[in-house]
Structure 1
């Protein structure tokens, strides 16, 4: 049932909990009129709710980065992989050799 959530379950739980706490705190701070010793204190809940939601981003980033799968092995990609690799190497060599020659020719003139 939860195969897609198999990695980093703790980061997911922290992110969801922080989002829930932040959302509830934010909504209570906006819509409820809370007074303590005659002073309005809804702003504190709004600000703390925003901080909870922003802090939950760290949990979401940890969960997402923990669930990134690696590249498939070369045997699964077959012949296409080697062709793409050769093409990419050829283009990058041409690009970097052009840049390298451009910079070396400028430095040798000085």
Structure 2
């Protein structure tokens, strides 16, 4: 049933709950008259709902990045992988030596 969700189910649940709470708070803050003793609390719910929705983005990013498939292993890359490794190592050494000399 949840085969397509595969990894990072906690991040998915976090994101969905934060979206539900945020959406509910936003809708209640906009459409419900929330005046208590002459003070309007609708703005508070709107801002709180927006904060929940923005926080849910972290959960969505974690869930999405946890489900990225297909990073190639060194065996699959063969000689290209080792060439890229050498290039990255050389570039890193040059940057490091530049920083120590300046």
- What TM-score does the superposition give when structure 2 sets the normalisation length? 0.70
Mapped pair 1:34 → 2:34: yes
Distance in 2 between the 1:32 and 1:74 partners?
Answer: 58
Aligned to 1:80: 80
Aligned to 2:56: 56
Offset, 1:33: 2.5
Offset, 1:60: 2.8
Distance in 2 between the 1:91 and 1:38 partners?
Answer: 65
Mapped pair 1:20 → 2:20: yes
Offset, 1:81: 0.9
Distance in 2 between the 1:11 and 1:37 partners?
Answer: 40
Offset, 1:93: 2.9
**Deviating 4+ runs (over 6 angstroms):** none
More displaced, 82-91 or 30-39? 30-39
Structure 2 unaligned runs (5+)? Answer: none
Number of residue pairs matched by the alignment: 102
Distance in 2 between the 1:97 and 1:36 partners?
Answer: 65
Provide the aligned C-alpha RMSD in A.
2.9
* Partner-residue secondary structure (3-state), 1:5: coil
- Select the structure of larger CA radius of gyration: 1
- What TM-score does the superposition give when structure 1 sets the normalisation length? 0.65
Distance in 2 between the 1:84 and 1:62 partners?
Answer: 27
More displaced, 40-49 or 74-83? 40-49
